[in-house]
Structure 1
Amino acid sequence: MTPRSTGGEPVNPDVRAHIPVLLSDVLEQLQPTAGETYIDGTFGAGGYTRAILEAAPCRVIAIERDPTAFANGAGLVADMAGRLVLVPTTFSDMAQAAADAGHPAVDGVVLDIGVSSMQLDDPARGFSFMRDGPLDMRMSQSGPSAADIVNTADEEDLANILFELGDERRSRAIARTIVKARGDAPITTTKALADIVERVLGRARGDEKHSATRTFQALRIYVNDELGELERALAAAERILKPGGRLLVVSFHSTEDRIVKRFLQERSGKTEGASRYAPAPIAPSHAPSFRIVNTRGITPNKMETDANPRARSARLRVGIRTDAPAWGAKA
């Protein structure tokens, strides 16, 4: 069924083709159950939400910061006849969204981190260099855009953004070239920025990633404060999950996955890479608030990656809430 506007006409017919990454694994790990309440923190095209609601007579509080995706969800809200609440906010605000919906404690939280296929495929949103469009990248369609950052940030700040959020080794050379180019004319389109990066790194060959991939990734993460949002969302999920509730996070970037992995390791009282020659780690001052389900994370199988190449970097991590207080909670 295609998400549609309240008038019954599809807002974006392309959403029907969207298939969520690791969907069968998400359902297997979440285990939707009749009468329970779940949060889908990244509604997008509604793929996870729909599958959860169809798996059991349960409730979903779905969160979406993108006004276009929010509008596309109106039809699904109507179809589910009271079992779905769609909230226009960021997933870091899930505790307030859940409380406002009358469910301050929930049985599961699902987060699909990063940009959606719909956003990438729409050149007007400016997330991709594959087709020319305005250099925007804002998920909420408000606040400073990527063009604002590219044209106003100083050279050192630009270099740091590209290096820290995009793992771009030539970040200083790219930043220097951007600053020089914007002195001649503002950089306002995705093609203009991609061409600048190609001048520094050269054109990708064969199966190599496009030269501008890391630059665009870094700017998108920065513009939308994606890492800060993720950290705040993980802490919020810890506060509102019931004992036995499940936290599922699908990430597509090594930095995001590292944040999720460290959060679950810390909250489960585990340490990584300890040496037998190193002093024994100090016991945490809090009781473990999570139990880790899959230490290595779940990745897509070949059939899924062949059907959807964008799924190749996806990793699902799962934690089960214990009955210990949230670490940020007051004693």
Structure 2
Amino acid sequence: MFLVCGEALFDVFIGDETDNALHLDARPGGSPFNVAIGLARLGQPVAFLSGLAKDMLGDRLARVLAREGVDTAPCLRFDAPTTLGMIELDAVGVPHYAFYGNGAADRLLSAAQLPAFGPELQAIHLGSYATVVEPVATALETLVRRERDRRLIAYDPNVRLNVEPSIERWRERADTLAGLAHLVKISDEDVRLLYGETDEAALAQRWLAAGAKLVVVTRGADGASAWNANGRADVPAPRVTTVDTVGAGDTFQSSMLTYLAETGRLTPGALAAMEADELARLLAFAARAAAITCSRRGADMPRRAELGTGF
């Protein structure tokens, strides 16, 4: 079983203006929320750990997770609002975000509220702004430190400067969690935000030396690369007519985790031991899944049958 940790919110897409009305399209989302649903749609047992509001939007988030087959038992409910992420798409479908969530429920989980987990839990994924805002950031680091010797830890920084504008804070969190996680996935855009025009291979080697076993950099239409103790692999991105890229990175992450689970490689040692050809198959499977998401509106992740039976 997987446990996905982090924020749950509503993505509110800004649409056309008619007279004095602005048309909005609200959809449940948040990067970890999307990863959890992505795993469930790919046939993986998964639970979600987050704070959910005791309001109509929090109820809706819980219902969506349950309907998708995600276990919400670890979630805590708070008398606090639900975060809203406003999204405006540019001419090529790339999203631009503004977040409204100070004091919201998905930030309120504390270390004292962390549940215990049994041997059925194989891997934990965390990421995005829940790893930088308090008190939930401290709670998730506490969880990772407690569990990293017993389960695989996966991490995606998924930087959102509209939530936390301090690059230094994001960089400190990324460096700390990349050293605690076994699988680190980061987009090239986030690499540039955090480290400027740094060499991606050098960054991957630094994180491998710090404790990671596999580092993956995604580049959208330019494909993806992976590094581990055995070297490097690169794959191109499938060609697709893009509607928007919302949820593509989350799909990539859930698909990588699914590949590792289905091939019996959901351990730190297995990540480190993968050869270049196997890394390429991992990346290609995840890129194919992400391309399907890009072909649809919003974070509409694929189901396992859409990817075929093989890799």
Whether these two folds match at TM > 0.5 is no
Q: Where on the TM-score scale, by shorter chain, does this alignment land: which range? A: under 0.3
TM-score (norm 2): 0.27
